Amino acid sequence: MTPELMEAGAEARARSFTRVVTDDGPVFNQGVALYVEDLKVAFDGFQALGGLSFTVGVGELRCVIGPNGAGKTTTMDCITGKTRPDSGRIFFGSNLNLRTMNEQQIARAGIGRKFQKPTVFEALTVAENLELAMAGDRRARVAMRARLSGEQQDRMTELLHTVHLADERQRVAGLLSHGQKQWLEIGMLLAQEPKLLLLDEPVAGMTDEETERTAELFLSLEGKHSLVVVEHDMSFVATLAGAQRTVTVLHEGQTLAEGTMAQVQSDEKVIEVYLGR
Amino acid sequence: MKRAALIAIALLLLLVPLLHLAFPPGHALHLSEFYVGLLGKFLCFAICALALDLIWGFGGILSLGHGLFFALGGYGMGMYLMRQIGREGQYQSDLPDFMVFLNWKALPWHWALSDSLVGQIFLALAVPGLLAAVFGWFAFRSRIQGVYFSIITQALTVAAMLLFFRNETGFGGNNGFTDFKRIAGMPLNTPGMKVGLCIASGVALIGCYLVARWLTQSRWGRILQAIRDAEGRVRFLGYDPVAFKLSAYVISALMCALAGMLYVPQVGIINPGEMSPAASIEMAIWAAVGGRGTLIGPVLGAFFVNGTKSVFTAVWPEGWLYVLGGLFIVVTLFLPAGLVGLARRFGK
């Protein structure tokens, strides 16, 4: 066999091995839920991410902190398919290459995202918002005749209690308070039954009591889901991270430090750029 | 409000034909043929307003090219009506007059089904439906939104108008089709036929209204509204907005084509003027005046605006465009929910 033919064969094999079948869910056989390696993104010459790498384990609750412009939201955008990175690798489980998938495919594979600014569908009621988010067939043709099953109705009631909106079921979402909208969005995220939850500043604009309840909720999800929480609020991060959980500190688009809250807080570099001098 | 409007339309649909047929001309209660035709026209316009509301009011997609789908439906029916003239035209030929005038010897290929009513009804729906599907797929897949979508739909209808103006296209050039004699072998100018077409338009409107109501109350309708308010968020829930926008656009185009099909035998003419930008923009005004996103609003808007137009073009013809412009400004500034919003405000 000529070398050319052998090379062509190797290429063809490589292609068929890296092909992504998007209908299959992620495979978590390596114990890793999210794998990010050497991610680079530049916007008009500004290097938003300069070779970011980190991994999130299955069932792990990971906190990500960092000053403004550290690349926290850009990282979320890359994972969910909103922004296309210039280079690097992002894998969901050991098999799904997220760089080859679009937003809706990534969402269907099991990654749910909560935005910094709460975005609920303001013209619809609380129950309708949850219904749209609920896991199920996403095709337009099916949606024309879709009805909630009894099981889904029960799940809806359960969700409404979880996010403390049981009394607001038929209320139009646009009339909710800011904190309630945040809760509704968390409810929508849970309704999607994602395997990985990305939460971008989930307690922004919440009262102390609401913040506390949110922390309790997230801690109760640990183990069942993998969570990545991006947050500015240090006391909230401290509550979530506790003594053992890992905290990742971002700075200028790279991982600056990683470790427990105590380790991170005593890290020289972190004190310099983030906790301030 | 909704119920009152529906009852009013049903009453009109019963009373106008009854007063026309039951009392002889000259009787105090006789309604002339003119009013039957007027009601039939308004019913067709109401279908267009409803169709536009489905994608604009619920999907947030403002199409300024729906006149194209209306006209294509009309042309589809017009081709059949032209063939039904038979040898009674000016030139007493088997071919339609304009073809004889152009010295054509045979029917062009796209007239192959023109002897069959069923065939032409099929074409009158399939062609606009397919056009909307192909055009919409490219537009929505490229994420063309807002005013850009409005502009390219407007451009599309203008391009089609220029195409239909040409004699070689085979649609009668700028004169279009007219001088129709009969449909399915029955003469068009009898009172019974006029009433029949008017009632058919009313049934079509009610049918479209029920379909639109079923669609907008389904999960599909809620997703469409969600896309209108926050398209990006819908994507992150795993829905593909293209599929929803495209299905809404195609259904809306089909409704407009149906309206055009019913309109042409009633007014007796179809020409490229129906594809002019003004015709499509007027449809948007009917929907806006009535109240977007309410279904019944655009139906009322079509009746209200066209009723006012009929009065003004009789009383003060040169003033109509000022009134129309003024109406649009007043609605945009003070009545964002249109007539329905006004009624709701007084209802409280």
Of the candidates B41, B122, B109, the one whose C-alpha atom is nearest the C-alpha of residue B76 is B122
User: Domain spans of chain B?
Assistant: 2-347
Q: What's the CA gap between B299 and B311, in Å, rounded?
A: 19
Closest-CA residue of chain A to B238? A104
Domain range enclosing A193:
29-275
* B110 and B99 Cβ atoms separated by less than 8 Å: no
Question: Which residue in this structure is represented by tokens 């427990």?
Answer: A260
- Interface touch B238/A115, C-beta < 8 Å: no
Question: DSSP string covering A220-275, please?
Answer: HHBTTBEEEEE-S-HHHHHHHHTTTS-EEEEETTEEEEEE-HHHHHH-HHHIIIII
Q: Is A19 within the bounds of a domain?
A: no
Q: Which residues of B touch A73 (CB under 8 A)?
A: none
> Does the pLDDT of residue A11 top 90, yes or no?
no
Q: How far is CA A247 from the centre of its chain?
A: 15
**CB atoms A133 and B223 under 8 Å:** no
Please check whether residue A218 lies inside any domain of the structure.
yes
Phi-psi region of B60 (alpha: psi -120 to 50; beta: other; left: phi over 0): left
Q: Report the alpha-carbon distance of residue A250 to residue B296 in Å, rounded.
A: 54
Would residue A10 count as lying in a domain? Answer: no
Q: Is residue A168 predicted with pLDDT exceeding 80? A: yes
Using the 8-state DSSP alphabet, how is residue B30 labeled?
Answer: P
Verify whether the Cβ–Cβ distance A140 to B244 is below 8 Å: yes
Which pLDDT score is estimated for B137? 97
* DSSP state letters, B285-325: HHHHHH-TTSSHHHHHHHHHHHHHHHHHHHH-GGGHHHHHH
* Res. A18: pLDDT tops 60: no
Looking up tokens 């065939």 gives B119
Query: Is A12 contained in some domain?
Result: no
How many structural domains is chain A composed of?
Answer: 1
pLDDT of A25 > 90? The answer is no
- From chain A, pick out residues whose CB is under 8 angstroms from the CB of B218: 143-146
Nearest-10 Cα torsion for A195, A201, A205, A209 = 60
In a domain, A80, yes or no: yes
Q: Phi/psi at B186 (nearest 5 deg)?
A: -100, 140
Task: Give residue A275's pLDDT.
Answer: 57
Mean pLDDT of each 10-residue bin along chain B, 348 residues long: 83 87 85 91 97 96 96 97 92 91 92 94 97 97 93 97 94 93 92 93 96 95 94 90 96 98 96 95 94 93 94 90 90 89 83
A119 interaction partners in chain B (CB closer than 8 Å): 230, 232-233
pLDDT at residue A203 in the model? 86
Q: Do A112 and B220 touch (CB under 8 A)?
A: no
> Average pLDDT for residues A96-122, to the nearest whole number?
89
pLDDT at B28: 82
Q: Are A214 and A202 in contact (CB under 8 A)?
A: yes
* Nearest chain A residue to B244, by CA: A140
Are A132 and B237 within 8 A, CB to CB? Answer: yes
Chain B within 8 Å of A193 (Cβ-Cβ)? no
Contact between chains at A80 and B239 (C-beta distance less than 8 A): no
pLDDT at B297: 94
Residue B332: CB atoms within 10 A of its CB come to 12
Across B133-144, b (16+ Cβ under 10 Å) vs e yields: eebbbebbeeeb
Interface test with B, best of A120, A138, A200 (most B CBs within 10 A): A138
Domain assignment present for residue A159? The answer is: yes
Q: Which chain A residues are within 8 Å of B249, Cβ to Cβ?
A: none
Q: Does some domain include residue A4?
A: no
CA distance A172 to B110: 52
CB-CB under 8 Å, B223 with A188: no
**What is the per-residue pLDDT for A15?**
58
Contact A192 B232 (CB under 8 A): no
CATH number of the domain that A138 lies in?
Answer: 3.40.50.300
Residue A213 lies in a domain: yes
Has this prediction a pTM greater than 0.80? yes
Asked if A213 reaches chain B (Cβ–Cβ under 8 Å), the answer is no
Read off the pLDDT of residues A219-237 as tens digits, 9 standing for 90 and up: 988 888 999 999 887 888 8
CA distance B259 to B265: 11
Residue A3's Cβ-side half-sphere holds a number of Cα atoms within 13 Å equal to 0
CB contact (8 A) between residue B225 and residue A80: no
pLDDT tens profile A174-209: 999 888 898 899 999 999 889 999 998 888 888 888
